[in-house]
Amino acid sequence: MNYLEVFMEAILKLRQGKRHIITAIIASCLSTLQMSCKPTDIISPPITNSNSPLEVVWQVPIRPDTSLGFGFDPIFVGESIFFGSKPTPLSAEKMHLIKVSKTGHVVWQISPDENSICDEIKSLESSGHVMVGDLLYCVCKNQPIVIDMKNLLLQNEYAIDSSTAYQISSFDQLLFYTTKFGSLGTGYDSSVLVVADPFSGRQKTLFRQGKNGDFNPNLYPPEVFVNNPTGDTLLVFQNRQWDFTNSANGGRVDLFCWNMTADTLVWQIPEIDPYGNSSVCKPLYHDGLVYFRGFQTLHAVNVETGEQVWMHEFPGDFDDLLLGNMLIAEGKLIVKSSTEGIHAFDPGTGALLWERYDAGNTSCYMSYFDGSVFYGNYGGELFNVRVADGEILWAYTSKNEGKNLGWEPQFNNGVIFDEENRRIITTDGYYLICLQL
């Protein structure tokens, strides 16, 4: 989403009387933005607080001067954690990169002046960064790239001669990305879905979408899976369109299913969302159904036929589903809204199992571990919500609060897990932090 699209999202929210407009604008703006290799000891000692539900096992500054940093969600690279940050989301400064062992020792860090790998790895939660063996698939300043993390070398980059690529997805060592051709001034004429093989360097355009009347095409990366029992590889993706010539027409969203094995369109659902808007995140596939989020609607679609199995429409005063993620856990479909809502559904029938509207104002991605989903939020806390019944087990505040660091520390990122040692690893904006469950 470019800057104009960001503010159109904000204007649309304002027009519809949303209460969380400031948070929405901040979230949307953050979503658009996104070698000193000497081993270093832990700078900050372990912290224990008897009044806290969690013990801090270790913490390491994400920047050498312990200043505030904005970055992508931490990524496991083997037995270490990789993270990068900038002083502000819009800063022209390159990212400071750091790699920390699971025991809290700095393996290496690369200053902005020495960073020749990537100026800025996108911080958008839905960017789709993923490790495949020793390779990191990611988006670098709106360009898909592949980094060899073992040797810290750029293995592949995919030049975008048109517009930009904000997100990627991956499947079976393949990388998928989308981009547009044209400009905001004259309008986008077409949008394409591309598959790339980072090991051979080959890539192929799978699908091209032109304008639909005055609506400018904007394909988003797909959810990719193998459809059993046929064994064909299917891709489900959206065309998230906007009429830039007449904003009163708003947007339009079409959903597609493409058979990559047979190189053919399986089905298409035109104008799936009544509001003409949808989540910027990819759909989710599970057990023959694809789950897709509109502006205030949740859809379950039969992947073979394109038939809508069920649809849940949220109430009129509901915020939206533009950001945040959804996942399957313990036989439930867990959906996080852009702000404080969290909801659990029966994946097969769409029956609402539980919901609550005080679960943290956030677009951070949820992650599941040992009966709960965990995520950060704009209020600063790290949330633990029990999947069985939606109970908030705790909302943890960084113990670095009140240390005169500037802005108060906040858990505004997703989390990763050291499952063997039952530990959470995330950042509070100043430190990479390892917490003992």
Domain contains 18:
yes
Residue 107, pLDDT score: 97
What percent of the chain has a predicted confidence (pLDDT) above 90? 67
Residue 37, pLDDT score: 32
Domain contains 28:
yes
pLDDT band at 35 (very low <50, low <70, confident <90, very high): very low
* Structural domain containing residue 18: 1-32
Residue 283, pLDDT score: 97
Domain contains 2:
yes
Give the bridge partners for 206, in sequence order.
none
pLDDT tens for each residue of 172-229: 999 999 998 877 666 788 999 999 999 888 999 999 999 998 899 999 999 999 987 7
Domain contains 23:
yes
DSSP state of 94: P
What percent of the chain has a predicted confidence (pLDDT) above 70? 86
State the DSSP string of 234-245: EEEEEEEEE-SS
Q: Are the C-beta atoms of residues 24 and 35 closer than 8 Å to each other?
A: no
Q: Are the C-beta atoms of residues 97 and 81 closer than 8 Å to each other?
A: no
Residue 274, pLDDT score: 92
Q: Are the C-beta atoms of residues 71 and 120 closer than 8 Å to each other?
A: no
- The region of weakest confidence among 3-7, 233-237, 254-258 is 3-7
Average pLDDT over residues 21-33: 37
Report pTM: 0.87
pLDDT band at 404 (very low <50, low <70, confident <90, very high): low
Residue 290, pLDDT score: 98
Residue 81, pLDDT score: 97
Alpha-carbon distances of 285 from 76, 301, 384, rounded to whole Å: 24, 9, 24
- Bigger pLDDT: 22 or 321? 321
pLDDT band at 163 (very low <50, low <70, confident <90, very high): low
Residue 32, pLDDT score: 34
Domain contains 9:
yes
Average pLDDT over residues 150-154: 92
Average pLDDT over residues 341-358: 96
Give the bridge partners for 207, in sequence order.
193
Q: Rounded to whole angstroms, how far apart are CA atoms 299 and 306?
A: 11
pLDDT over 70 (residue 432)? yes
Tell me whether residue 113 is exposed, middle or buried, using C-beta atoms within 10 angstroms of its C-beta: 0 to 12, 13 to 18, 19 or more: exposed
pLDDT over 90 (residue 21)? no
Give the bridge partners for 313, in sequence order.
297
pLDDT over 80 (residue 10)? no
Domain contains 39:
no
Alpha-carbon distances of 352 from 67, 211, 284, 334, 355, rounded to whole Å: 43, 37, 18, 10, 8
Number of separate domains in the chain? 1
Domain contains 171:
no
Mean pLDDT across the chain, nearest whole number? 85
Q: Are the C-beta atoms of residues 408 and 430 closer than 8 Å to each other?
A: no
Average pLDDT over residues 144-162: 86
